Amino acid sequence: MKNILKSLPKIELHRHLEGSIPIDLVLKWSQKYNLPLPMKDPRFRGDDKELRRDDIQAKTPMPFSTVLERLFYQQRCFQNLESVETLTYEVLKSIAQDNIKLLELRFSPGFMAEPQNLSFDGIMEAVLSAKEKAQKDFEIEVGYLLISSRDFGIATCQETIDLALKWKDHIVGIDLAGDETKFPDTLFEKPFQKAKAAGLNITVHTAEVTPAKNILTAHQKLGAQRIGHGVQAATDETVIKYLIENKIPLELCPTSNFITEAVSSLNAHPLKNLLKRGVKVTINSDDPTLFGTTLTHEYEICVEKLGMSLAQIKQTILNSFEASFLSRAQKKRMWEKYFQTF
C-alpha cells in the first residue's frame, strides 16, 4: 500500500511555505548567515546536527503557541530576496518529488519580511519567479495564497489584503492564520469583508484548538469558502450539519492536529468519520518540515491509524480538486493527465 500511496498523483491545499523548507537547508542557511540555532545540550554526546534537527522539529504533542515558536528557525532563513526565491524554488522541488500535481502554497509576507524588513512587493516578485521556474522544471501546477497573520494585528492584516488586491492576478486567494486563541476571527471581519467584496477567494484557520462554532463565524463574517483545520467540528453536530449543507471543505492535517493537541491521538482523528458523514474533507501536511512529515505520510497515517481504504483516500483527493482555488485551465490540464481515471 505504501508504494501505491507514494505513486498516487496528489493535490495539496493546506501547506505553508515557511514550514516547508527542507531541514537540511534550514541548517545550511542558518550556518551561511550565522543565524541562531538551538543551543547544543552539553549533556548530549552525539551528532550536533541531529540534536538541532530534533529541536527545530515538533514531533511530540505540545501547546499550540510552542509549536508556532518552532517556526522561528525557518523564518530566519529569509535574509534577503535572493534567499526568498532560492528557498521557495527548493520547497516547490521537494513538493514535486512527493508526486503532488496541484498545489496551493500559502505564506505570510509579513512573517517572511520581519527578520530583515524585506519589501512585500519584492517578496511577491521573488516567489513568483521561483514558481515560474518550478512549473517549467517539474510537473506541477502552483497557486499562492497570501496569509494575514493574526499575531501582527489588524493594521498588518489590512496591508496584506491590499497587497493581495494589488497582486490579485498572480495569487489564488488569502488566508487568516496565527494564534486563534489570542486573536479571534471577529477582529478581522472588516478587512476580510473588503477582500470578499473584491472577489478574492478566502480560507481561514479556525476551530483547530478553539470551539467548533468559530467555523460559523469564519464562514458568515469573514467569507471563508474553506476552513483551515476545523478539526473541532467533529465535537458539534450543528456545525457538522452546517458544513454538509453549505458544502464547506475542511483542510485537515492529521499529524499537525496531533502535535498541536487538537486531537488526543492520531487514532482519534475524526477525518474518516467526517468523510463518511458527507463532510468535504481534504488531507494535507500543513508544515511538513516542522512536523517531520510528507503528504504521502499523511495518507499512510489515514490508512494505518484510521483504517481508510484506497477509495476513500482517492475521494479526499477528488474533494481537494473540487475545492481548489487554482484556475480552471490549471485544473483541466492536470485532471486530464492524472485524475480523470480516479
Residue 310, pLDDT above cutoff 90: yes
Number of Cβ within 10 Å of residue 39's Cβ equals 9
174 burial via Cβ count (<10 Å: 0-12, 13-18, 19+): buried
Residue 40, pLDDT above cutoff 70: no
Task: Tell me what the mean pLDDT of segment 74-80 comes to.
Answer: 92
pLDDT of 10 reads 98
* Confidence category of residue 55, pLDDT binned at 50, 70, 90: low
Residue 138, pLDDT above cutoff 70: yes
46 burial via Cβ count (<10 Å: 0-12, 13-18, 19+): exposed
Q: Is the pTM of this model over 0.85?
A: yes
**pLDDT more than 90, % of the chain:** 82
Number of Cβ within 10 Å of residue 189's Cβ equals 17
3-state secondary structure of 277: helix
Q: Which of 19-33, 283-297, 322-336 has the lowest mean pLDDT?
A: 19-33
The domains of the chain, with CATH numbers, are: 2-339 (3.20.20.140)
* Confidence category of residue 57, pLDDT binned at 50, 70, 90: confident
pLDDT of 54 reads 66
Task: Tell me what the mean pLDDT of segment 115-126 comes to.
Answer: 96
pLDDT of 66 reads 76
Of 17, 131, 159, the closest CA to residue 75 belongs to 17
Per-chain mean pLDDT for the chain: 93
Task: Tell me what the mean pLDDT of segment 32-45 comes to.
Answer: 61
Residue 327, pLDDT above cutoff 60: yes
- Cβ pair 78, 112 in contact under 8 A: yes
Residue 276, pLDDT above cutoff 80: yes
- Cβ pair 221, 186 in contact under 8 A: yes
* Confidence category of residue 45, pLDDT binned at 50, 70, 90: very low
Residues catalogued as catalytic:
208
Residues 338 and 40: their CA atoms lie apart, in Å, by 46
pLDDT of 50 reads 58
Per residue in 205-229, pLDDT (tens digit) is: 999 999 999 999 999 999 999 999 9
- φ, ψ dihedrals at 36, nearest 5°: -65, 140
Cell 495569487, residue located: 171
196 burial via Cβ count (<10 Å: 0-12, 13-18, 19+): middle
Helix axis angle, 295-304 to 310-323, nearest 10°: 140
Residues 197 and 156: their CA atoms lie apart, in Å, by 19
Residues 26 and 9: their CA atoms lie apart, in Å, by 27
Q: What does the buried/exposed string (b/e) look like for 119-145 if buried means 16 or more CB atoms within 10 Å of the residue's CB? A: ebeebbbbbbebbeebeeebebbbbbb
Number of Cβ within 10 Å of residue 264's Cβ equals 10
Selected residue with higher pLDDT from 342 and 8:
8
pLDDT of 23 reads 85
Residues 131 and 298: their CA atoms lie apart, in Å, by 24
Selected residue with higher pLDDT from 57 and 124:
124
3-state secondary structure of 96: helix
CA-to-CA dists, residue 168 to 171, 303, 324, angstroms: 6, 38, 16
Residues 171 and 12: their CA atoms lie apart, in Å, by 16
Selected residue with higher pLDDT from 190 and 63:
190
| Kind and range of the H or E run holding 261 | none
Per residue in 179-194, pLDDT (tens digit) is: 898 999 999 999 999 9
Selected residue with higher pLDDT from 63 and 25:
25
Per residue in 231-272, pLDDT (tens digit) is: 999 999 999 999 999 999 999 999 999 999 999 999 999 999
* Confidence category of residue 34, pLDDT binned at 50, 70, 90: confident
**E-assigned strand segments in 114-206:** 141-149, 173-177, 202-206
Residue 36, pLDDT above cutoff 80: no
Cell numbers at 302, concatenated: 489515514
DSSP state for residue 16 in the 8-state scheme: B
pLDDT of 219 reads 98
Residue 340, pLDDT above cutoff 60: yes
